[in-house]
Amino acid sequence: MKLNNVPYELIDWKGVETSLITGLEKKALARIKNFDEIRLRVIEKEPGYRADHFCKKGHIIFVIEGSMDIEFENGDKVPISTGQSIFISDDNQYGHTTFTEKGIKYFIID
């Protein structure tokens, strides 16, 4: 990741417009800021939210509150919860999807 030509900006996430994300079950709200090829998001998923696809893009995730399972196409499952981070590279051979039983709020860079 290169942070070239990215201006200095203080982000007040409460003031960033929300976008609705629909999953297979339930919904999520995302606040999104884009800087060239870098995307920053704060995502809040309802209890019972299950993503509707397997993603092959890399991410850096920090969990603000709650928990979710990251499930890979090969069957591996990684639980992540409050205060934890995970790094998934762009060249990961398996796609990943998410499920949260109790809900989650996290910060993600991709």
Check whether 1 has a pLDDT greater than 70. Answer: no
**pLDDT at residue number 90:** 84
Looking at the domain 19-109, which fold is it? Answer: Jelly Rolls (2.60.120)
**pLDDT at residue number 39:** 92
**pLDDT at residue number 10:** 92
Question: What mean pLDDT comes out for the span 43-67?
Answer: 95
**pLDDT at residue number 17:** 97
Half-sphere exposure of 11 (CA within 13 A, CB side): 14
Query: CB neighbours of 15 closer than 8 A, spacing ≥ 6?
Result: none
Q: In Å, what is the CA distance from 56 to each residue of 40, 59, 88, 101?
A: 17, 9, 9, 23
Check whether 100 has a pLDDT greater than 90. Answer: yes
Q: In Å, what is the CA distance from 32 to each residue of 6, 93, 107?
A: 15, 26, 10
Residue ranges per structural domain of the chain: 19-109
Q: What is the pTM of this model?
A: 0.91
Give the residue, 91 or 85, on which the prediction is more confident: 85
